[in-house]
Amino acid sequence: MFHIHLCIYVYISATCFYSCPCILLIRFLNTGHIPQMFLPSLLSLQKIVKAGDKDLDGQLDFEEFVHYLRDHEKKLRLVFKSLDKKNDGRIDSQEIMQSLRDLGVNITEEQAEKILKSMDKNGTMTIDWNEWRDYHLLHPADNIPEIILYWKHSTILDVGESLMVPDEFTAEEKKTGMWWRHLVAGGGAGAVSRTCTAPLDRLKVLMQVHASKSNSMRIAGGFVQMIREGGVRSLWRGNGINVIKIAPESAIKFMAYEQIKRVIGSNQETLGITERLVAGSLAGAIAQSSIYPMEVLKTRLALGKTGQYSGILDCARHIFQKEGVAAFYKGYIPNMLGIIPYAGIDLAVYETLKNSWLQRFATDSADPGVFVLLACGTTSSTCGQLASYPLALIRTRMQAQATLEGGPQMNMTSLFRHIIRTEGAMGLYRGLAPNFMKVIPSVSISYVVYEYLKITLGVQSK
């Protein structure tokens, strides 16, 4: 802890960055006599160390502290500008009320004035940049609601695959029930986008299972083959179960995520990137485990021939009678393993792109805009899919093994070796082209439908 105190003292002395109260705080730290008025800032020190500790050694050295301060001050300035609706360099009670109202939080003018008084030093009942900075400088950025809401990773939008890191909702959204409206809007958007791109999804499954060096299935040829076999309607075979599983998966994932946040001891509305990765991966694993039989049904229906099954229940009955309960969990292990690289890369790339945009282009607003968020989310999800695709392919092959007459029943390791030996490394990426082809239309359709459903359900946009 002394190392942290020394860094703060040196930096303050060298740059005169802090106000006088903060210098007094350092003196109190050195003497060991700490007045009650400074306890909130002291409690924030642990969060500052956690936010700025880039090398994860449990300490904050000078360079890390300077980097944290510069990055944090820039975020504070962006948020200040976004709150300053009149662009006069000051924030008054009406602007605070309006900003909170945009976030779905309604407060009285008296409450807004109490917020002002906590930061107002000169009694003007307005906050200028210096007062705003001095008040928030020793508080980590994730305590600022505006930054949280501007930069939420909008995983409620369907970008072609089931994302593993859920969105987080503010305390007000949970209290008012706004969170379930977001989930309903996201689920409806996902159902529409998946239905529109279902032919590409079925083609991906067929290419994953049937394409090989000797049977080179192309995109155009695959569509022709599906239409010849079962007509245009067959392009949507298996889409019903794919849409049905959206609701339970989203609900279980959200509930599990909230419980895991409590278990890991975080009382913050927004987790750090490592905590979010762990909580999101575990929540994704729980949700996938709960609905995994639906994944098997989706694959079997997509591979089925015309007239083979009369519906979802008939398909489930055939699998149960011929293969038993265990068949509903074929490919479960590679599916669970795929969560780790998918969620990790998706989240890491998103955070990197978001921060890069902030450093280079953010000047007048903390809001990057919907197109930047969608671009970051689409790119990060695509990178995550690329990394986890071989495991997804092996999962699909294992789910489909019983449908291949005369084919060997192999476990995950044996199937992986078989594909490498017979098809080469590229065999692990069969069906990748139609999988990526559906990403952009999925995002576009999902966003349009999501915005329309938000208006219909009375969800306030930020």
Candidate ranges 215-229, 332-346, 385-399; pick with highest mean pLDDT: 385-399
Same domain, 223 and 146: no
285/192 same-domain check: yes
CA distance 316 to 331: 16
Is pLDDT at 29 greater than 80 in this prediction?
no
Mean pLDDT to the nearest integer, 167-178: 69
DSSP string, 115-143: HHHHH-SSSSSSEEHHHHHHHHTTS-GGG
**Residue 462: inside a domain, yes or no?**
no
Q: Is residue 89 part of a domain?
A: yes
Q: Are residues 175 and 89 in the same domain?
A: no
439 falls within a domain: yes
Least confident of 180-184, 294-298, 309-313: 180-184
Dig out the tokens for 368 from the structure. 């990057």
Q: CB-based burial of residue 381 (10 Å sphere; 0-12 exposed, 13-18 middle, 19+ buried)?
A: buried
Let me know if residue 18 belongs to a domain. yes
347 plus 408 within the same structural domain = yes
**CA dihedral of residues 289, 281, 414, 419 (deg, nearest 10):** 110
Is the pLDDT reported for residue 418 higher than 70? yes
Same domain, 211 and 321: yes
Q: How confident is the model at residue 365 (pLDDT cuts 50, 70, 90)?
A: low
Task: Kindly state whether residue 384 falls inside one of the protein's structural domains.
Answer: yes
Short-list 114, 172, 123, 179, CA closest to 145? 172
CATH number at residue 182: 1.50.40.10
Contact 40/95 with Cβ under 8 angstroms?
no
Return the closest-CA partner of residue 193 out of 405, 421, 451: 451
Residues 324, 442, single domain; the answer is yes
Please count the structural domains in the chain: 2
pLDDT tens by residue, 43-65: 456 666 666 677 777 776 777 77
Confidence of residue 201 (pLDDT cuts 50, 70, 90): very high
The answer to whether residue 290 sits within a structural domain is: yes
Helices 2-15, 20-31: crossing angle, 10 deg rounding: 150
Q: What integer is the mean pLDDT of 426-448?
A: 86
pLDDT at 196 over 80: yes
* Arithmetic mean of pLDDT, 412-432: 91
**Domain shared by 104 and 247, yes or no:** no
Q: Is residue 111 part of a domain?
A: yes
Higher per-residue confidence, 73 vs 160: 73
Question: Which has more pLDDT, 2 or 211?
Answer: 211
Mean pLDDT of the chain: 76
- The residue-averaged pLDDT of 90-111 equals 75
pLDDT for 369 beyond 70:
no
Do 123 and 212 share a structural domain? no
Q: Point out the least confidently predicted range of 57-61, 120-124, 275-279, 397-401.
A: 57-61
Q: What angle do CA 125, 130, 134 make, to 5 degrees?
A: 100
Whether residues 179 and 242 fall in one domain: yes
Query: Is residue 381's pLDDT more than 70?
Result: yes
Task: Report the share of the chain in percent with pLDDT over 90.
Answer: 20
* pTM exceeding the 0.85 threshold for the entire prediction: no
Residue 138: domain span:
2-150
CA dihedral 5, 8, 14, 16 (to 10 degrees): -130
pLDDT digits (tens, 9 = 90+) for 303-344: 998 889 989 999 999 999 999 999 999 999 999 998 888 888
110 located within any domain: yes
Q: Decide if pLDDT at 42 tops 60.
A: no
Residue 192, amino acid: V
Do 431 and 367 have their domain in common? yes
The pLDDT of residue 333: 93
Residue 179 scores a pLDDT above 80:
no
Both 332 and 391 in a single domain? yes
The amino acid at 137: L
Using an 8 Å Cβ cutoff, are 384 and 346 in contact? yes
Tell me, yes or no, whether 373 and 415 share the same domain.
yes
Distance CA 12, CA 398 (A): 61
* Domain CATH number, residue 122: 1.10.238.10
